[in-house]
Every structure is written in C-alpha cells, then in structure tokens.
Structure 1
Amino acid sequence: MKRRRRMRYLAWFVFLLVLILGAQGLTANQGVSATSAAEGPYEGHTLVSVQSYGLDGKLLELNEKSEVVWKFDPPNSRVFDAEQLDNGNFLVAVTTKLPPAKCPDEQLEVASEQCIEASVVELDYETKEVVWEYSWYDEKITHHEVHDVDRLENGNTAIVDMGNDRAFVVNESGAITWEWQAENHLAEGTQFHETYGGPADPGGEKDWTHMNDIDKLENGNFQLSVRNFDVVVEVNPETKDIVNVVGEPGNTEILDHQHNPYELRNGTVLVADSGNDRVVELNATTDEVVWQYGGRGLLHWPRDADRLPNGNTLIVDTFNDRVVEVNERGEVVWAYEGVQMPYTADRLSVPEEDHETVPGSELRSRHVGTDSVQSTLKQAEAYAAFVFPSWMNLPELLTLAGIVLGTLLLLLEGSVAVARDG
C-alpha cells in the first residue's frame, strides 16, 4: 500500500513538473532585445556574425535602433568572421555541412555521414549575390570551420584554415600566394617548441592548433591566434619566422583559448580571453595586463572585442548570447541580447584597420567572478544550449532534471512492485 501511495505521489509530482515546464516554454522570452544607456553607444551600425548552436548561422546588420536592416542566412551553415569592404560589400567566412552525396570521397574517411565546405564569400550588399568566392572541402564540421578572413590592401585575401592547421593568402583568381603550415613552425623539433613547448601534433583530423584569427599588422607581419597553444604569434611573411609571442602554452593565467586579438597602436593587444571569461589588453612585449573587463559574473566565453575611438569596447559575450558595449568605466551602455551564440561584432562606422583609439591605461578595469557552484551551473547552462531548445535556461533545465529524476524513481518503484507481485 505504501509503495502504491509513493507511486501515486511520484506520478503527480512528474505531471506537475511537466505542466510547469510547459508554462515555462510558453512564457519564455525567445526573441532578441536591445538596451541602451542614456549616454548611448558609439555611433554607427553594428555587424554581428552568429555561429549558432546548430546549423542556422547568420550575419546581421543592426541600425542605431538595434533593428535588423540586412541579413544573410545561408542554409545548413555556421557563420564566423565578417567585415565590410571599401566597396560596401561584406566578406564572410561560412562553413556549410553537406550530405555524403555532395562530398568528395576523400573527405568521407573520418565522418562518412558528412563533409563540409569551408567558404570565404564576398556578398554584393544590395543583391546579396556572391561576387567572389574561395572554398575547399574538409572532413567534418566540428573544429574544422573557417573562423577568420581578412581582405588585404592589395586585393588578396588572408584566411585561417583550422581543420588543416594553416594560414594562407589567395589572390583574386584563387591562387595561393603565401602559406604558413603550423607543423613547420610549432611542432616538436621547431625553435618555437624548444623555447615555449606546446601540445604535440596528434596528426590526422584532430584539433591540434585551432588557429582562429589572422590579421595583417601595420609593419607587414601577420598576427595569428593559435587558440589551443594559448598564444598569439607574429609571423614575418618573408621568412615565415615567429618574431613575437604573446602568452605562453599552458600558462592560462595570461591567455586561455583566446579569440580575435586586435593590435592597438600603443603597443598593446586587445584579446577576447575566452577561457578566462574576460577581455584583456596586454603589453605585446611583456604580457603585462594593461586593462581587463570580465570574470564569469560579467562575461562567459567572449570571442571578440574591439576598442572604439571614444574608448568604449564592443564585446561579443558568446555563451551569454549577447553583444555588449562598455564605456571607459566598465558600464554597459548598449546590449543586444538573445542572439544565439554570436561570434564577432564590428561597428561599421569604424574602419576595419583603424587601430587608433584610447589605450587601456586610461580606462577603468572591472572584474567580477562567481563562486564555484554558480560557475558550474552557468557552464552547464551553456553546454545545454547545444542540445536543448534556446528557451531552456537554468530554471527550465532544473525543471527537466526533476522530471527525469521523478520518472526514474517511478519506474524503479514500478519494477519493484511487478517483481514482488510476480
């Protein structure tokens, strides 16, 4: 009798939680929203690229009222770095998942059910037609996406190829004019590895370097972000030698799985220090912290940051699903929230290569952490977004956990009852 009563209570408990979860789904705010402080953000439209948790990536242009005035959403794709060119067109890094029938046989050896096409496309602003493209096939979408692209002054295009651990430049005809293979400069036996160390090359399709950014610096060198080494390296394009290193492999107190470094003209580099949940400005020679904003109480896995001419900083707060702009006091003056897993953001009124701005030494740092329990819950919430619908945040996940636990207990009680009756 007691077991039947427990089962009845458990059934009502599960039923009640199902109703609560349904109500949470109906009342959840699944849209995007924007807020702005009285003093307002720096002027101009904002370009936001969205990786997404699935395959519905997009590129959005927002006006000064945070309204979407232009949108590009290729099917079955993730969208990464984008920039506006001098002619007004957009240059975009896109990775598209393809079914086996559309894949070359040599790209089906690791993941036979898929391959990807990594593409860099230039889109006509008015028609959204592709007016220039460079693409290649690769094995799978996880850790093989093309993350960054940069149109150079001479018309060539610089690209990082994460899946093949390389950076390269192509001309307008699509011919490779320069290439830098990480295995020749970072692997065991190289000068870099002897001096700094770093993870061993596992070979094959493993995620070794996770190179995610390339920029042409004013001195003509290339700046590369090697995420899995926790370093930003400067490469002489003529010799291909590494001439400067920011960070240190394995020393995550300096950088931890960083994205999108941005060299400022005062000799510092602004970096989205993703694993440390902060944006940090470092002295490019000494690694000294000049300015920082973040901590998990403010940011979660940021992946892009730009210093604007007035000293504000535009930040992509990826796992909090938002883009924010903070002023020189570390106060949020603009936010665009609810956009699923954004990757980069640019204020289009600021030229792509304009690195003249207010140095971090004149700004106020701000860092707000969380305790270990809060941090773990926020991390679980972020990972759950890859599996569950976008409206399921921590409260909804806790409700779902209660449903699962209650159902398991109900099944256990039922199985014991059947065994005894049998």
Structure 2
Amino acid sequence: MERRRRMRYLAWVALLLGLALGAQGLAANQGVSATSADEGKYDGHTLISVQSYGLDGKLLELNENDEVVWRYDPPNSRVFDAEQLDNGNFLVAVTTKLPPAKCPADQLVVESDQCIEAKVLELDYETKNVVWNYSWYDEKITHHEVHDVDRLENGNTAVVDMGNDRAFVVNESGGIVWEWQAENHLGEGTAFRERYGGPPNHGGETDWTHVNDIDKLENGNFQLSIRNFDVVIEVDPETKNITNVVGAPGKTEVLDHQHNPYKLRNGTVLVADSENDRVVELNATTDEVVWQYGGRGLLHWPRDADRLPNGNTLIVDTFNNRVVEISPRGEVVWKYEGVQMPYTADRLSVPEEDHETVPGTELRSRYSGVNSLQSTLEQAEAYAAFVFPAWMKLPELLTLAGIAVCALLFVLDLGVAAVRGE
C-alpha cells in the first residue's frame, strides 16, 4: 500500500511538472527582438550569418529598423562566413548534410549514414540564384564545415577547409591556384612544431587544426586562424612559410580556441577569443593586450568582432544568441537577440577590407566574470541547445530534470515490485 501511494505521488508530481513545462514553453519568448540606443549605433544594414544548432542555418540582412529585408535559408545546411561583394552579390560559406544516396562512396567510410557538401556560393542579390560556386564532399558535418571564404581583388576566392586541414585559393574557373597544407607547416619536424609545439595529428577525420579563418592582408600575406592551436598565423604566399605568430598552443591566457581575427592598420589584431568569453585586441608582435571586452558576465563564446570606423565594436555573442554593438566606452548601443547560434556579422556600410578605425588604446576595456557554479550552469544551458528546443533555458531544463527523476523513481518502484512479486 505504501508503494502504491508513493507511486501515485510520483505520477502526480510528474504530471504537475509536465504542466509547468508546458506553461514555461507557452510563456517563453521564442522570437527575435532588437533594441538600440538613441545615439551611438553606426549607420548601415547588418548582415548576419547563422550556423544554427541543427541544420537550419541562414543568412539575414537587416535594415536600419532591424527588419529582415533579405534572407537565404538553404535546406539541411549550416551557414558560416558571408560578405557582400562590390557587385552587390553575397559570397557565403555553406555546408549541407546529405543522405548516403547522394554521397560519393569514398565519403561514406567513417559515417555511413551521411556525408557533407562544403560549398562556396555567390548569390545574386535580386534573385538569390547561385551565379558562381565551388564545392567538395567530405565525410561528416561535425568539425568539417567550411567556415570562411574571402573574395580577393583579382577575382580569386580564398577558402579554409577544416576537414582537410588546409587553406587554398581557387580561380573563377574552379582551378586551385594556391594551397597551404597544415601538415607541411605545423606537423612533426616543422620549424613551428620545434618552437611552439601543438596538438598531435592523429590523421583520418580527426579535428586537428580546426582552421577557421583566412584573410589577405595589406602586405600580401595570408592571415590564418588555427583554432585548435590557439594561434593566429601570418603566411607568406610565395614561400608558404609562417612569418608571424600571435598566441601559442596551450597558452590559453592569450587566445583560447579563437575565431575571425581582424588585423587593424595600426598592427594590432582584434580577435573573438571564444573560450575566454571575450573580444581582445592584441599587439601582433608581443601578444600584449591592448583592449578587451567580455568575461562570462558580458559575453558567452563570441565568434566574430569588427571594429567600426567610429570606434564601436560589432560582436557576435554566439551562446547568448545575439549580436551586439558596443561603444568606445564599453556600453551596448545596439543588440539583436533571439537569432539561434549566429556566426558572423558585418555592417554593410563598411567595406569588407577597410580596417582603418579607432585603435584599442583609445577605448575603454570592460571585463565581468561570474562564479564557477554560474559558469557551469550557463555552459550546460548552451550545450543543451544542441539537443532541446531553443526556448528551453535553465529553468525549463530543471523542470525537465524533475520530470525525469520522477519517471526514474516510478520505474524503479515498478521494478522492485515485479521482482518481489507484489
């Protein structure tokens, strides 16, 4: 009798928690919203690429009133770096997950149920038709997406390919005219390895370098972000040698799994220092911090940052599902919230390669951390978004956990009763 009473209580508690979870879902704000200070936001439309937690990535253009005026949402895809070209078209990096029937046989060795097509697309602005593309197949979507593309002045296109640990340049006809293989410059026996070390290359489809960004610098060199090495490197295109290194493998107080470095004309590098939950401007020679904004109290896993001509900084605050613009004093003057797992953001009134702006020495740094418990809970909430609906934040997750505990106790009671023949 006692067991039956306890099981009834558990069932009622689970039911009440289920109703509470439903109410939380109805009350949750699942839409996007934007706010702006009366003064301070830099003028122009904003281009936002959205990776998404699933396969519903998209590219959005917002006008000055934060209305979506252009949208591209390819099916079964994640969307990464994008830029507007001089002709008005958009160049965008897209990775599409394909079923086995559409995959080459040699790309079904590791994951027999999928492959991916990594694509660089130029989209006509008016029709959204693909007017130029370059693509290749790879084994799986996790850590194999194409993260960055850059249209060069001569019409060629620079690409990073994290699945194959390389960077390359392709011409308008689709021919590779330059290629840099990480194994030849970061692997065993290289000058970089002897001086800096770095994670070992286990080969196959392991995520070794996670190279996630390429830019052509004014001096003609390529700047590459080697995320898993915690470094931003500069590469001479003629010799392919590494001429400068910002950060060092494992020296996470400088950079920790960074994204989208942006070299300013004063010689500093503005970086989304993702695992350190900050945006940091570093002296590219000494690694000295010139300016920073972040800490878990302000940002959570930022992945892009652009310094605007007026000294504002546009930041993609990925795990907070928003894009923010902060003033030189570190105050938020604009934010666009509710976009799920954004990757990059550009203010389209600023030319893609115009890095003339206010240096960090003239800006105010801000850093706000949180205690370890809050940090752990926020991290769990962020990871849960890959599994549960986006509206399920920490309160909803705790309610769901309560339901799971009640269900587990109920099943255990049933099991005990069955074993005892009751």
TM-score normalised by structure 1 residue count: 0.99
- Determine if contact 2:40/2:327 at 8 Å carries over to the other structure: no
> Does 1:294 pair with 2:294?
yes
AA at the equivalent of 2:229: F
Alignment of 1:370-385 (within 5 A): 370-385=370-385
Q: 2:9 aligns to what?
A: 9
Q: 1:307 aligns to what?
A: 307
Residue deviations 1:81-123, cap 9 Å, x none?
Answer: 0000000000000000111111111111111111111000100
Classify the secondary structure of the residue corresponding to 1:185.
helix
Which region of structure 1 is more displaced relative to structure 2, 180-189 or 410-419?
A: 410-419
Distance (whole Å) between structure 2 residues aligned to residue 205 and residue 409 of structure 1: 41
Q: CA deviation at 1:38?
A: 1.8
Q: CA deviation at 1:382?
A: 0.5
Distance (whole Å) between structure 1 residues aligned to residue 392 and residue 175 of structure 2: 46
AA at the equivalent of 1:263: K
Runs of 4+ in 1 over 4 A off after TM superposition: none
Distance (whole Å) between structure 1 residues aligned to residue 303 and residue 113 of structure 2: 30
> Does 1:397 pair with 2:418?
no
Q: 1:26 aligns to what?
A: 26
AA at the equivalent of 1:137: Y
Q: 2:89 aligns to what?
A: 89
Q: CA deviation at 1:412?
A: 1.7
Distance (whole Å) between structure 1 residues aligned to residue 417 and residue 205 of structure 2: 51
Q: 1:343 aligns to what?
A: 343
Classify the secondary structure of the residue corresponding to 1:155.
coil
Alignment of 1:1-400 (within 5 A): 1-400=1-400
Distance (whole Å) between structure 2 residues aligned to residue 176 and residue 419 of structure 1: 68
Residue deviations 1:200-256, cap 9 Å, x none?
Answer: 111011000000000000000000000000000000000000000000001100000
Distance (whole Å) between structure 1 residues aligned to residue 408 and residue 199 of structure 2: 42
Q: CA deviation at 1:37?
A: 1.2
Classify the secondary structure of the residue corresponding to 1:293.
strand
AA at the equivalent of 2:68: V
Q: 2:420 aligns to what?
A: 420
AA at the equivalent of 1:154: N
The RMSD of aligned alpha carbons is 0.8
- Determine if contact 2:262/2:271 at 8 Å carries over to the other structure: yes
Distance (whole Å) between structure 1 residues aligned to residue 117 and residue 285 of structure 2: 38
Distance (whole Å) between structure 2 residues aligned to residue 15 and residue 416 of structure 1: 22
Q: CA deviation at 1:421?
A: 4.0
**Percent identical across equivalent pairs?**
83
Distance (whole Å) between structure 2 residues aligned to residue 415 and residue 260 of structure 1: 54
Q: CA deviation at 1:410?
A: 1.6
Q: CA deviation at 1:40?
A: 3.8
Structure 2, unmatched stretches of 5+, are: none
> Does 1:409 pair with 2:413?
no
Classify the secondary structure of the residue corresponding to 1:304.
strand
Distance (whole Å) between structure 1 residues aligned to residue 219 and residue 155 of structure 2: 18
Structure 1, unmatched stretches of 5+, are: none
Q: CA deviation at 1:58?
A: 0.3
Distance (whole Å) between structure 2 residues aligned to residue 304 and residue 344 of structure 1: 5
AA at the equivalent of 2:403: I
Q: CA deviation at 1:380?
A: 0.4
Residue deviations 1:19-67, cap 9 Å, x none?
Answer: 0001111111111110111214100000000000000000000001111
Distance (whole Å) between structure 2 residues aligned to residue 147 and residue 39 of structure 1: 34
